[in-house]
Amino acid sequence: MENEKNLMPICALIVDDSSVMRKIVERSLRQAGIELTKVIEAGNGTEALSALQENKVDLILCDINMPVMDGLEFVKQLPNVANGKGVPVVMITTEGSEGHVVQALSAGARGYILKRDAGNELVAALEAVQQHKLYFTTKVSEVILHGYLQQGEEKETPGAPLTRLTSREREIIKLVAEGKANKEIAHLLSISIRTVESHRANIMEKLDLHSVTDLVRYAIRNNLLEC
């Protein structure tokens, strides 16, 4: 099948404790017309980190619940691995709660797909991450929105606090929510690390946020990650 989305050929690392699921993901990629130069499999985060010591990959597709080292901890470890730095990660999991989505994005994942949607969503997700965008399915978006509506704890209406933020502060929220460190943000925006730290402190105070997880949740609910 021709690759209709013109995606670049990729070396993929598939991380899942089910060998059957790993094969299903690989088959879904090939059936979608994605050219795979190589496929590397790992049964947990520890195995995946070891694989990255010997292989340079273009994409990581990872489950969350796995023995030894789960997907969230694995993603957090990627910046410490030479062949893991900057590699986009798409979570493919049965875990669809808002908490898991926020944790995954906070850890540095670029996409989030439920396993039951993988066949229909993989190409769109890969297209997004290759363009340095974030991606999560409509069902995941609905879960996040439902969680927001249930809580009803915001002091202001959704999006209203955005009017109190500068354009630079919005840029920084987006980059922090995407998992970028202060040093990387400073480089991308051509400002000092101290300036980034100052902006982050001002943002947290303005929005009454207390953690990176709160900031990611805020960014998702106000569609800042889609800008």
Which run of H or E residues covers position 34? none
Nearest to 66 by CA among 58, 75, 57: 75
Q: What angle do CA 56, 91, 34 make, to 5 degrees?
A: 60
For the entire predicted model, the pTM comes to 0.69
Residues of the chain with CATH 3.40.50.2300: 10-147
Tens of pLDDT, residues 174-211: 888 777 778 888 998 999 999 999 999 888 888 888 77
Q: Which homologous superfamily does the CATH classification assign to the domain defined by 10-147?
A: Response regulator (3.40.50.2300)
Tens of pLDDT, residues 59-95: 999 999 999 999 999 998 998 888 888 899 999 988 7
The angle that helices 98-107 and 138-151 make with each other, rounded to 10 degrees, is: 110
Question: HSE-up of 122 (CA within 13 Å, CB side)?
Answer: 24
Tens of pLDDT, residues 32-54: 888 999 999 999 999 999 999 99
Q: How far is CA 111 from CA 11, 30, 149, in A?
A: 17, 19, 23
Residues of the chain with CATH 1.10.10.10: 154-222
The yes/no answer on whether domain 154-222 falls in CATH 1.10.10.10 is yes
Contact criterion met (CB below 8 Å) for 173 and 218? yes
